[in-house]
Chains A and B, each alone.
Chain A
């Protein structure tokens, strides 16, 4: 009986990134829904931390312990939202996943494509969330006579040790790094299960699926 001389099966990272980018571009409406969930969570996080920093600058209460709890819950809700919308994205693409597998894709290639997409969604959502949060916090400072724009701007360029993890950095920069970082991490964790599920699909079953 003959044996197979098995060659390589591969999906270079650059190609995987290209396909994921095309997925994000061409399925913008779908991706926007997932991104919105990230954006809202991060906007809430950034604005809350900034407002607390402004308060501290003018001698107010600053970051309170209950805020961490609030942030934790809001990010958890946001994570569940991403998982949910990624599960739908996977269901929509059953046939496509089956096709990729027919063309030679391994389970880990499918996983890779979804996780790259998650990083893109997290990055875009985190950035958008940061901008919205920053704008919201500045508006809060302007309309609130006890804070004012002046002290808000000073607070933004000063480090605030009460901000978790990014304490030593100036508030504006620290929250950018932290916000985008949390967004990417959250999006990755939330996508893990849907992506794993997609990767494990049997090609015959995936192809049979009709939407």
Chain B
């Protein structure tokens, strides 16, 4: 196994500017963030605050304008396309608001996909994908295609897929955004269970207040900057008030 680093994710003065015609939009402007191994962190903030941009930077999906992102102490801006693809396949699991399953493949095949890229043997792929789908409660839906599954079930397949290569980090961008309250709550609980059970670091970008209860830390961002960081203990009361 790889070495155990204290911080799984570290950002240093991270910034991303987009050029919109003549003026520059500062989607992220100097974010310094350290996320410990096994932590459950929620990044909260209004739409347009830079949550998704931060998600893309940490996930190695886009290059920052300035600053650095370290995943397990590796500066990912220095990686080439091949190394980046490997990092995405092995170190990071992605969960999206719109589930993003491959529509032409079954649930089992979707979960197997990241293992193909990682070079896992076929028998092992099938065994592991089946085990993961059983874990998320879809043992009887292995051969269903995404169109034959409900939103909540699709998101469970996506969670199983995100865990396929035992990543260090699971990145979830608005994972409950397209789900009703009850289904969303069950997805949040499932993410928390897997976080505890597997020790995987979970980072969610969200404005779903249901996330507050399960998060170890909440990072509030606004206008591309960290507004404040709250530990779970300090905000529990506030969360109850908000839900009333």
Contacts and interface: CB of A to CB of B under 8 A. Distances in A.
Interface of A: 1-4, 6-12, 15, 19, 22-23, 25-27, 95-96, 98-107, 109, 202-205, 207-208
B119 A10 contact: yes
Interface in B43-89: 52, 56, 59, 61-62, 72-75, 79, 81-83, 85-89
Nearest to A103: B114
7 contacts: A1-B74, A26-B103, A95-B98, A99-B100, A102-B100, A104-B89, A203-B62
Nearest to A24: B104
Which 9 A-B residue pairs are closest in the complex by CB-CB distance? Answer: A104-B89, A104-B117, A204-B62, A26-B104, A2-B73, A22-B104, A204-B61, A204-B56, A203-B61
Interface string B124-157: 0000000000000000000001000000000000
Contacts of B83: 4, 6
Interface residues of B, number: 39
A100 B114 CA distance: 9
Given A26-B103, A96-B102, A11 B88 contact: no
A15 B85 contact: no
A102 B117 contact: no
Given A15-B116, A103-B113, A207-B61, A6 B104 contact: no
Given A8-B118, A11-B116, A100-B113, 9 more contacts: A6-B86, A19-B102, A95-B100, A100-B102, A101-B85, A101-B88, A102-B92, A106-B81, A202-B61
B90 interface: yes
B105 interface: yes
Contacts of A1: 73-75
B81 A102 contact: no
Interface of B: 3, 5, 52, 56, 59, 61-62, 72-75, 79, 81-83, 85-90, 92, 94, 96, 98, 100-105, 113-114, 116-119, 145, 161
A25 B85 CA distance: 28
A112 to B, nearest CB: 13
A107 B89 contact: no
Nearest to A27: B104
Nearest to B102: A96
Given A2-B73, A3-B74, A204-B61, A102 B88 contact: yes
Contacts of B98: 95
B104 A25 contact: yes
A99 B102 contact: yes
B148 to A, nearest CB: 12
A102 B59 contact: yes
Contacts of B5: 2
A98 B94 CA distance: 11
Contacts of A7: 86, 90, 118-119
B173 to A, nearest CB: 9
Given A1-B75, A102-B88, A203-B61, A9 B102 contact: no
